[in-house]
Amino acid sequence: MTPQQISDTLQAAIPEAEVRVNDYTGGGDHFEVIVMSNSFEGVSRVKRHQMVYKALGNAMDGEIHALALKTLTIAEFQKLANNS
């Protein structure tokens, strides 16, 4: 699965998501993914991650070996960006 395929899949599954994907080994199976969406408002981190895993479906059973995942609302992302 390519970074673009991951991004497209997550944007289709999570309303108004902005997705950033980095293949951090270059091998096509270890990814860092940041998903920002206001649909995460009031949702626990565990449930946010479950939303991402559900969207990626079978890719998590084979194509994707490792996934470093951050799920944030837009406000949470802006707060982190301002503190950097």
Question: CA 16, CA 41: separation in Å to the nearest integer?
Answer: 12
Query: For position 58, what pLDDT does the model report?
Result: 85
Q: What is the mean pLDDT of residues 62-83?
A: 92
Percentages (nearest 5) of helix, strand, coil residues in the chain: 50, 25, 25
pLDDT for the residue 76: 95
Alpha-carbon span 19 to 36, nearest angstrom: 6
Whether this prediction's pTM lies above 0.75 is answered by: yes
The CATH number of 3-82, from 3.20.20.410, 3.30.300.90, 1.20.1250.20, 3.40.50.300, is: 3.30.300.90
pLDDT of residue 62: 82
Q: What is the pLDDT of residue 83?
A: 85
Encode pLDDT of 18-64 as tens digits: 999 999 988 888 999 999 999 999 999 999 999 999 999 888 888 89
